[in-house]
Amino acid sequence: MQIDLFDTELNQILAAVSYADYKSKLAAYDCSRCTLCHSRTNIVIDRGNPSAPILIVSERPGVNEDRVGKPFVGRAGELLDKMLKSIDLDPNEHVLITNVVRCMPETDRSPTKDEVDACFPFLVKQIELVAPRVIMLLGAVAVKWVDPSRSDIKMEKEAGKFFTLPRFPGVQLMVMYNPAFLLRDPRKKANTWEHLKALRNYLHEEKLV
Ligand code: SF4
């Protein structure tokens, strides 16, 4: 846990003992830990169920998410919900959706290392409080920031695969194509259906849904 001796509000967020406490304190925090604070309207924290067995992590909010204050709204969000429903997962019950950074960049770009480093304690705290059994990483950017040893990840090879990380014991991480990418390259939808079926099999084997 990363504590800043001079920032009481930050320390209270990182010391929260319940998800509701974490979320309400983070939503009220006028965070300026990175330059993304200048381009955001809302800090985008989550969508879904904080007691769900699956945490979905994407890279960053976009314009629609910034306006509404929730991740994955708009066309990519609709596709994500469709993907989940195709394997009988309810987006409001079986998953919680978030990003590696909580604020929208000023342009359509991926977050930088400095931005991710500044925001990562909020994701780690979120994972601690949600205690998911599966973390689904949407796209190469989410994968490389959650697991920097995969910074040269090739999605063609890694999508659909499970792996573990010592820092998140008891959690299976899974790589999945980002729905925003699938909208641009629908040829990958067939592969993604196979990946979703692999996830469904794992969830059933482990009796997680
Ligand atoms: S992206 Fe994260 S660290 Fe940066 S300003 Fe937003 S909440 Fe703070």
For the chain, count helices (H), then strands (E): 9, 6
Q: pLDDT averaged over the chain?
A: 95
- Mean local confidence (pLDDT), 18-33: 97
Write out pLDDT tens, residues 157-200.
Answer: 999 999 999 999 999 999 999 999 999 999 999 999 999 999 99
* Superfamily of domain covering 8-205: Uracil-DNA glycosylase-like domain (3.40.470.10)
> pLDDT tier at 7 (50, 70, 90 boundaries)?
confident
Backbone dihedral angles phi then psi of residue 108, each to the nearest 5 degrees:
-80, 80
| CA triple 98-4-42, angle to 5 deg | 35
121 CA from centroid of ligand 1 (Å): 10
Smallest Cα–Cα separation from 108: which of 144, 76, 81?
76
Q: Model's pTM, two decimal places?
A: 0.96
pLDDT, tens digit (0-9, with 9 covering 90-100), for 94-122: 999 999 999 999 999 999 999 999 999 99
The alpha carbon of 162 and the centre of ligand 1 are apart by a number of angstroms equal to 28
Using CB distances shorter than 6 Å, the residues near ligand 1 are 31-34, 36-37, 43, 101-103, 115, 118-119
Q: What is the CA radius of gyration of the chain?
A: 16
Give the helix/strand (H/E) hosting 19: helix 19-28
* DSSP 8-state code for residue 6: T
Task: Give the distance, in angstroms, between the CA of residue 11 and the centroid of all CA atoms in the same chain.
Answer: 22
pLDDT confidence tier of residue 4, bands split at 50, 70 and 90: low
Q: How far is the CA of 102 from the centre of ligand 1 (A)?
A: 6
- Residue 6: what pLDDT? 76
Ligand 1 atom at minimal distance to the Cα of residue 118: 3
Instruction: Please tell me the residue having the least CA distance from ligand 1 atom 2.
Output: 119
The domain limits of the chain are 8-205
Residue holding tokens 């997962």? 89
